[in-house]
């Protein structure tokens, strides 16, 4: 089972290391550490108004979930700023082993500040292991960093 978790984390891409304190916008007083934790999050049970950044990010997460279920590496790559060859290979390994994959996201929290955002959520992957034939359930909590490019949000990486 630990191998399955390793494959999942490899497939999700690299972790972005803390780049140190960010300079917050001039309208926000400086706070220690990352600005992402200095604002109030919107919680999953609060539906965001249509057309807002939060609504766009939640739609991106849903597209990401569907792309994983479809095991479509190109669709996943299109939702990210970049995809390394190593991540592409890790996705192929994960999908080769994960038969009948379903992905569920829950407890989604989104924090947006300017052209950057943090999405924190729970994720459950359920599938039949190709080698053993056994049913597998992996549950993780993830933090994704996102970046706005024009009016489109893209996944920058994991935190």
Write down the pLDDT at residue 17. Answer: 65
DSSP E strands in the chain: the ranges are 98-113, 116-129, 135-149, 152-158
DSSP H helices, 12-144, are 53-69, 73-78, 85-97
Asked if residues 35 and 113 have their Cβ atoms less than 8 Å apart, the reply is yes
pLDDT digits (tens, 9 = 90+) for 97-118: 999 999 999 999 999 999 999 9
Q: What is the CA radius of gyration of the chain?
A: 17
| Selected residue with higher pLDDT from 96 and 30 | 96
Classify 2-13+47-158 by CATH class. alpha beta
Tell me the percentage of the chain whose pLDDT exceeds 90.
65
Write down the pLDDT at residue 159. Answer: 87
| pTM across the whole model | 0.77
Write down the pLDDT at residue 139. Answer: 97
Asked if residues 10 and 16 have their Cβ atoms less than 8 Å apart, the reply is no
Work out the average pLDDT over 50-66: 93
CA atoms in the 13 A half-sphere facing the CB of 25: 10
Distance, in Å, from the CA atom of 79 to the CA atom of 77, rounded to the nearest integer, reads 5
Query: What are the sequence ranges of the domains in the chain?
Result: 2-13+47-158
Write down the pLDDT at residue 43. Answer: 46
pLDDT digits (tens, 9 = 90+) for 15-55: 676 555 544 444 444 344 444 444 444 444 456 777 799 99
Angle formed at CA 24 by CA 106 and CA 113, multiple of 5 degrees: 30
Per-residue pLDDT at 126 exceeds 70: yes
Write down the pLDDT at residue 6. Answer: 82
């Amino acid at each position: 089972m630990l191998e399955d978790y390793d494959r999942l984390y490899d497939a999700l891409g690299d972790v972005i290391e803390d780049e140190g304190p960010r300079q917050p916008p001039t309208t926000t007083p400086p706070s220690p550490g990352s600005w992402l934790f200095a604002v109030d999050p919107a919680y999953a049970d609060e539906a965001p108004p249509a057309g807002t950044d939060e609504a766009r990010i939640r739609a991106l997460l849903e597209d990401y979930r569907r792309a994983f279920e479809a095991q479509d590496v190109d669709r996943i790559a299109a939702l990210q700023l970049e995809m390394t060859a190593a991540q592409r290979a890790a996705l192929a390994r994960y999908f080769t082993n994960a038969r009948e994959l379903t992905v569920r996201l829950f407890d989604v929290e989104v924090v947006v500040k300017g052209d950057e955002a943090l999405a924190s959520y729970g994720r459950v992957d359920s599938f039949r292991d190709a080698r053993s034939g056994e049913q597998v359930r992996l549950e993780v909590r993830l933090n994704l960093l996102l970046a706005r490019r024009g009016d489109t949000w893209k996944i920058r990486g994991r935190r």
